[in-house]
Amino acid sequence: MITPLKRKSFDELIPAVPTSEQYQYYWGDGQSVFRRVAISIASVIIFTILYNRVHENNPSSFAALAMFVCAALGGLYWMLEPVAMASIRNAKLRRFPYCGFWQAEVLDVYISQEVLARSEKVDSRGRMDISYDAESFLNIELGDETEFVTTLRLPMRRELKRIRPEQTVYMLLFSNDRRFGRVSRQTSDAFIPQYNLWVGDYPYLRRDTFIDLTKFMSARSKRTANVEQ
């Protein structure tokens, strides 16, 4: 069942300013950090040279101020790029006018293979040798009592092997329709409370806030069930 959330809750769960998990996601490995640092150094050098030239001719010009600001921002690029990338990623879901809390159940779990690259080479005997670079993906089919079904597809990781049918899953769904007659295929990451496991390619959700929401929704569902009995 999909429970619509107010915009205030939506904004708290998927913030405009990235969380630490989102920042860390785009921080990258050592090679990524080195690339950003190199860009920062190059930017500072280039804009400092331009600033000095402009400043000599006209110290109070707007161009001199612009070069100074660009040099400062360039020096911070290595830290700011992850913030910008995460903010852009968050905005893809924040653009939806409506979001809903979804309590679902794992219906099926299966593995599929995807060919990422194909290479061909001729061996010493003149025969064509074809090889494929394939990656395993875990497909998690989710559904609820209303017969709404969606599938999460993720690169296979060791911790995902614990996911089994009938486990409870919580996540957010998004729509342009107030009544959720049509739901976007884009979803947030999912939370499986049984293992305290987060499932998703990117940590969209502010996790502490979402866990509090799942506890509140679970308690409300139990109270409703007791009243109906």
Give how far the C-alpha of residue 100 lies from the chain's centroid of Cα atoms, to the nearest Å.
17
As a whole number, mean pLDDT of residues 193-201 equals 93
pLDDT on residue 60: 77
Distance in angstroms (rounded) separating the CA atoms of residues 165 and 147:
16
Task: Please give the model's pTM, rounded to 2 decimal places.
Answer: 0.82
Tens digits of per-residue pLDDT, 119-135?
777 766 777 677 767 78
Residue 198 near residue 175 (C-beta atoms within 8 A): no
Tens digits of per-residue pLDDT, 155-177?
988 899 999 999 999 999 999 99
pLDDT on residue 228: 65
How many CA atoms lie within 13 Å of 31's alpha carbon, on the beta-carbon side?
0
Give helix 77-94 / helix 20-27 axis angle, nearest 10°. Answer: 120
Query: Where in the chain are the domains?
Result: 24-94
Share of the chain above pLDDT 90, in %: 69
**Residues pairing with 108 in the sheet:** 141
Share of the chain above pLDDT 70, in %: 94
